[in-house]
Amino acid sequence: MGGRPNSIDVQRIRDEVQQLETACHGFDDQTLSPTVCTNIASISLRKLLRDGKRGNTAVLTHLGLKESMTFFDGAIHPLKSDFPVAHCGLAGFSASRHVPNMDSVMSGLSERPMMDFETWWNSAVIWDSQGRTFSRSDIVLVSADKDGGAHIDASLPEEYYDLTVDNSLGRLGGFGNQWKSLGSPVPACIRHIGHEVLVSLATHAPYAFRSKHHAHALRTGRLKAAVGPGDGIVISGFAVHGQPASADDALDTEEGERQ
């Protein structure tokens, strides 16, 4: 599909972007539960990105964007391909929860790392303690199709169940001698993937946003890990964050510095 999209196409992608942003802001501000945010965001991501086997067309495919644009790779990748321990490239952690990385990967970089859709969608970004890997597509599609997004299956894939219920990442949080599992990393991972998609769309298709100011801020700003008021110290990739920051605050700060 060539040329500028028509008004119906623009409205369609704006509606999906608005829904994704609603879920992301709800996660950051903690005005929605992580489960609700994940359900909303996973459905939006699926509709934007996945071409179904029954002829269903992703919004980005319909608009001719999925193959032509590149996607922001905000994952923290292991230093070696045979990384021997569990690692989540999409989310860091605090003493109480998993925290989406956002732009943590940008520390020391002048340009965003970008990649083609197939590589971005299907490359491993999580390694659990049993050596099993998960891609962005694994996380988004199981969440949307089986774990409460659009459907709830009676049983989940074993590796996904282990990741979300049995803590196969092995992450623990707490204080003193009180330690426990941080629970499922999927909500934080979905939030991070949402950020990557929004940044990518702001770069290649700013018309997907109702506000040009917001698209510009997403494209040029830098968001630290989405640290909440109760998080304290957050380990995110190779960075440590200690101050609360919401997505709106970070974007407003970046915009103000440029003016």
Q: In sequence order, which residues have a C-beta less than 8 Å from that of residue 176 and are 6 or more positions away? A: none
pLDDT digits (tens, 9 = 90+) for 218-235: 888 877 655 555 555 555
Q: Does 28 score more than 80 pLDDT?
A: yes
What separation in angstroms does the CA of 4 have from each of 50, 61, 145, 177, 244?
A: 22, 14, 32, 59, 40
What is the rounded average pLDDT of the residues 188-210? Answer: 95
**Beta strand pairing status for 71-72 and 172-175?**
unpaired
In the Cβ-directed half-sphere of 245, how many Cα atoms lie within 13 Å? 22
* Tokens 């510009």 sit on residue: 216
Amino acid code (one letter) for 150: A
Q: In sequence order, which residues have a C-beta less than 8 Å from that of residue 50 and are 6 or more positions away? A: 56, 58, 137, 140, 141
How many CB atoms within 10 Å of residue 32?
Answer: 18
Q: Does 20 score more than 80 pLDDT?
A: yes
- The number of angstroms, rounded, from the C-alpha of 205 to the middle of its chain's C-alpha atoms is 18
| Structure confidence at residue 48 as a pLDDT band (50, 70, 90) | very high
What is the rounded average pLDDT of the residues 165-182? Answer: 85
**pLDDT in the model for residue 178:** 80
Mean pLDDT of the chain: 82
255 within 8 A of 231, measured Cβ to Cβ: no
Q: In sequence order, which residues have a C-beta less than 8 Å from that of residue 190 and are 6 or more positions away? A: 37, 38, 41, 42, 45, 139, 140, 143
71 within 8 A of 200, measured Cβ to Cβ: yes
pLDDT digits (tens, 9 = 90+) for 91-122: 998 878 899 999 888 877 888 999 999 999 99
**Beta strand pairing status for 172-175 and 178-181?**
antiparallel
